[in-house]
Chains A and B, each alone.
Chain A
Amino acid sequence: MTLHAAFTARRGDFDVIAELDVADGETLAVLGPNGAGKSTVVDVLAGTLAPSGGTIEIDGERVDTLPAERRAIGVCFQDDLLFPHLSALENVAFPLRARGEARSQTHVRAAALLARLAPTVDPRTSPSMLSGGERQRVALARALAPEPRLLLLDEPFANVDVSARTALRALVREVTAGFDGATVLVAHDPIDALTLADRVTLLEAGRQTQTGTPEEIRAAPGSVYAADLVGVNLFTGVLEPLPDGAARLVTARGAIIVAPQTRLDRIVPAVATLKPIDVALHAAEPEGSPRNVVHGRVEEIAIDGERARIRVDGEPPLTAEITAGSVARLRLTRGADVWASFKAVEVSVVLTEEEAVPGTLSG
């Protein structure tokens, strides 16, 4: 099913103008800084905010004229918004009961969904007894329960603590991979967009500044925000387990050592991100602890006040963020030889294969 939406909406003191096209099975990430209007986009698509103009079509049918409860959507909210007076099971069953299905029937389907997406959660517990990560899993199950044609995920990881986020990201990836409708994911953290979306649209101050695949945006960032985004190092490849519990992520251009959250027993595909600030640069080969050392050539230097972004061409290529002072100290110039290092634990890894998500992951 395809989503085609082009609308304007007013939120507070500014307008949001958006045009979104998402194909069957595709995930579009709406990425932007806080206050850009991302939640407005979700609210308009969900039907809880009326746009001031425009249309929304799912599979060619107009849905913007329908109230929220008649659109075939599933929404996962930032604050999960699980109904506190219902158990986890009843929450998941809610969309089915709301459209009139019999209780026993809905509970069977809800239980199956919960077992698959939130296996550590006892269906009878109240949401207040669950951790942030468990709640989002239940919220995800609730969003999927009515077999929607459009899945809306509004910053689902915002209130989940860092240790649980990786596992949750993997779960969402698995879910969206198997979902044959369109998915719109709203995110603030670029890692979410880069690891989960097929295409990304950047929303800044109510306007879309750029839309494309992560690679397209990386290749030609259209705004300062985009440029900042592409600064995130993205590695795609396969993970080979190492004897000490770490793993080697082999990409098309070079391999890095990473520390996955659980022990792997075989080779699995994965996607990993590394923040530029976690990459250190050295004029000579460094000694000591970092597991990853990459020898390369300075490709580009971009200085912005006190910060500097350095693109290093190596195996693999990296972007590092250091102080402007360090640039001078290291005598970095285009084409200069440089060593980049980073720790394995600073790389964030997301496994991209279904069976590789073990049920014992916490959160």
Chain B
Amino acid sequence: MRGRTPLPLAILAALGAVFVVLPLLALVIRAPWGDLGSALSGAGASTALRLSVEVSLAATMLSLILGVPLAWVLARSSIPGRSVLRAVVIVPLVLPPVVGGIGLLAALGRGGVVGRWLFEAFGLQLTFTMWGAIAATTFVSMPLVVLATEAGLRSIDPRFERAAAAMGARPGYAIRRVVLPMLAPQLAAGAVLAWARALGEFGATITFAGNLAGRTQTLPLAVYEARVTDPGGAILLSLLLVVLSIVVLVVMRGRITAAR
């Protein structure tokens, strides 16, 4: 129900809105719109854009494939140590992304704990590759999927699954036809959040996957590289990122905050 907003609340809200909108507005004002054509048509911009889309989508998919079952275990299973597991899974959210990148290097880098074996036995290397960028991005995005999905699972009345069983549905059928559809809004919200985070991912990517145009240089990395040598171009690239984000967020509209 919508009512009148008390004045102090309205003032604070306005301040909050201004605080967030101002940098975006400043970008628009400072942008060298005359150079728009050359900046965006340059190979660098379109390559970085393509890479950003590919990496963020792949990372979101991976986050869903791994994150949803993880959320299931956290919400529904009775294995011991769940609360510790949950805390660990959420850690990438509070960790500075660069630290996450260093951790990934230590684990999956060519000289890393597991990476060393992958490289020596199979010649597989994640660093300096697009898959490395996907790995780094998944690392920071998956917690968002896990959080949203676990909350969603907890909010579903468990009696629905018992009802489904009483109706003759085997557990697999009940999950597919009852739980997942009821979970859909939360899953979508989690996916959108994860995707948004993936799109803006920088620190872990540059630390673990490196920075090479066409292979690992996503839009945020391109912006970072351009910012000193071509500040105008950096602003235009930044705006490209902003537009891309806004497009998807608008498409998803109220789903992010709607519980059901």
Contacts and interface: CB of A to CB of B under 8 A. Distances in A.
Interface of A: 43, 46-48, 67-70, 73, 75, 77, 79, 81, 83-85, 94-95, 97-99, 142, 146
A72 B118 CA distance: 52
B188 interface: no
A98 B164 contact: yes
Most A CB contacts (10 A, CB to CB) among B162, B164, B167, B170 go to: B167
B166 A47 contact: yes
B182 A68 contact: no
A47 B165 contact: yes
Given A85-B181, A85-B182, A95 B168 contact: yes
B260 to A, nearest CB: 9
Nearest to B157: A81
A354 B7 CA distance: 64
A81 B168 contact: no
Contacts of B166: 46-48, 68-69, 73, 75
Contacts of B178: 83
A98 B167 CA distance: 8
B169 A69 contact: yes
8 contacts: A43-B162, A69-B165, A75-B167, A83-B163, A94-B169, A98-B164, A98-B173, A98-B177
Given A84-B182, A85-B181, A85-B182, A77 B163 contact: yes
Given A83-B178, A84-B182, A85-B181, A99 B168 contact: yes
Nearest to B185: A85
Given A68-B162, A75-B163, A83-B160, A98 B169 contact: yes
Given A48-B162, A67-B165, A81-B160, A98 B170 contact: yes
Contacts of B177: 94, 97-98
Interface of B: 157, 159-160, 162-171, 173, 177-178, 181-182, 184
User: By DSSP majority rule, is chain B's interface helix, strand, loop, or mixed?
Assistant: helix
Nearest to A100: B173
A43 to B, nearest CB: 8
A63 to B, nearest CB: 13
A98 B162 CA distance: 14
Nearest to A98: B169
B76 to A, nearest CB: 15
A128 to B, nearest CB: 10
A70 B164 CA distance: 12
A94 B174 CA distance: 10
A69 B178 CA distance: 14
A84 B167 CA distance: 15
A95 B173 CA distance: 11
Given A85-B181, A85-B182, A98 B163 contact: no
A149 B34 CA distance: 78
A234 B6 CA distance: 59
A10 to B, nearest CB: 17
Contacts of A77: 159, 163
B159 A68 contact: no
Nearest to A45: B166
A45 to B, nearest CB: 10
